[in-house]
Amino acid sequence: MGGLDQAVLGALGKIQDPDLGRDIVSLGFIKNLAVNDGSVSFTIELTTPACPVKDRMKEEAERVVRAVPGVRDVRVAMTAQVRSIAGEKKERLCPGVKNVIPVASGKGGVGKSTVSANVALALSQQGASVGLMDADVYGPSIPTLLGCADQAPHVDRERIRPVEVHGLKTMSFAFFVKPEQAVVWRGPMLHRAIQQFLGDVEWGELDYLVVDLPPGTGDVQLSLCQSIPLTGAVVVSTPQDVALSIAQKAISMFEKLNCPILGLVENMSYFICGQCNHRHEIFGHGGARRACDRMGLPFLGEIPLTTELRIASDEGRPLLAGTNGSSPHAEAFVRVAQNLAAQVSIRAMKDENRAVSITF
């Protein structure tokens, strides 16, 4: 590697990834560096396509390299390669899935399924390959939220092919029971069902599998944690103290099961009146952020309470479907998805560093 090559890498080494806390050269982000008569081209391979600073990073890379003496032209391509959380059970059950992310809540009625669906869509729209598994056996609502309740998965050579809608691969208990039918299952039946949804469904290659859990701390949560290594859990709560106190029980459960907490989402955080544009904090505001500060957990973001979101969910046309995050409410889900993706990358990097330290 010549002098100009080294000078280019030296300049790029000054750019830090804000989430991983290291420069993009030592992180191995620079790929396919080519220098030819003052013309420089390279690729920056990020750890997620949902990186919120990718445009800024590209601009900074172009700026610092263009300032290197002898460089006449700079071409930068941006790609992403999501890191995988390793584990023998995961390789056996769903080897193509890089990260399994359960979305939980301490109680019902906090909008957990709505958050699951829209965050999964936001990740997909950012360029990731995403699956959405509805593990809420008692009240499965993902097909309704996605507008695919009239569809059904089919079996091909003893493998279940998930329904594909809005760019997501999705599987739900709702596809197998009538809408008015109650599911009354004991623990062993729930455990077997979770195993089938993980191992018998043809998920294919996924960057993220988002799992919408039932509320509370029951058999489904326990079965999921015992069945497969989880990247980490997301906990959804509303701002008021009573909801947060119950959400802490979900956090405690995951910690006891050795599942990291990727962060909290505050749903129904505030309401903007469509007529007077005044902000109303109906359930209070900021409780989840304060809880994160107190417990040392990441805060992933806040989602407003909106009539638009309620109507879109009831009608089975998700807020992000076809919008690319263009509305303020959709943008809130995009920010949560980006923050979540960043936490997944941080977790994967910690695992890689731990593996290296054990090796040596």
| Domain spans in the chain, listed from the N-terminal domain onward | 3-80, 88-359
Q: Which of 131, 113, 115 lies closest to 171 in space, CA to CA?
A: 131
Torsion sign (Cα): 30, 32, 36, 41? negative
Query: Exposed (0-12), middle (13-18) or buried (19+): which is 6, by Cβ within 10 Å?
Result: exposed
Alpha-helical runs (H) found in 200-323: 219-227, 241-256, 287-295, 307-314
Query: Helices (H) and strands (E) in the chain — how many of each?
Result: 11, 17
pLDDT at 34: 95
Say whether pLDDT at 2 is over 70: no
pLDDT at 325: 53
Say whether pLDDT at 245 is over 90: no
pLDDT band per the 50, 70, 90 thresholds, residue 156? confident
- The answer to whether 105 and 181 have CB atoms below 8 angstroms apart is no
Q: Which of 39, 85, 38, 132 lies closest to 320 in space, CA to CA?
A: 132
Say whether pLDDT at 185 is over 90: no
pLDDT at 360: 36
- Give percent of the chain above pLDDT 70: 94
pLDDT band per the 50, 70, 90 thresholds, residue 356? very low
Beta-bridge partners for 208: 130
Task: Encode pLDDT of 77-95 as tens digits.
Answer: 999 999 987 666 677 788 8
Say whether pLDDT at 186 is over 80: no
Task: Encode pLDDT of 24-52 as tens digits.
Answer: 999 999 999 999 999 999 999 999 999 98
Cα angle for residues 109, 255, 264 (degrees, 5° grid): 40
pLDDT band per the 50, 70, 90 thresholds, residue 211? very high
Say whether pLDDT at 184 is over 90: no
Higher model confidence: residue 139 or residue 358? 139
**CATH 3.40.50.300 is held by the domain 88-359:** yes
Instruction: Say if strands 154-156 and 159-161 run parallel, antiparallel, or are unpaired.
Output: antiparallel
- 3-80: CATH topology: GMP Synthetase; Chain A, domain 3 (3.30.300)
Cα angle for residues 315, 320, 325 (degrees, 5° grid): 150
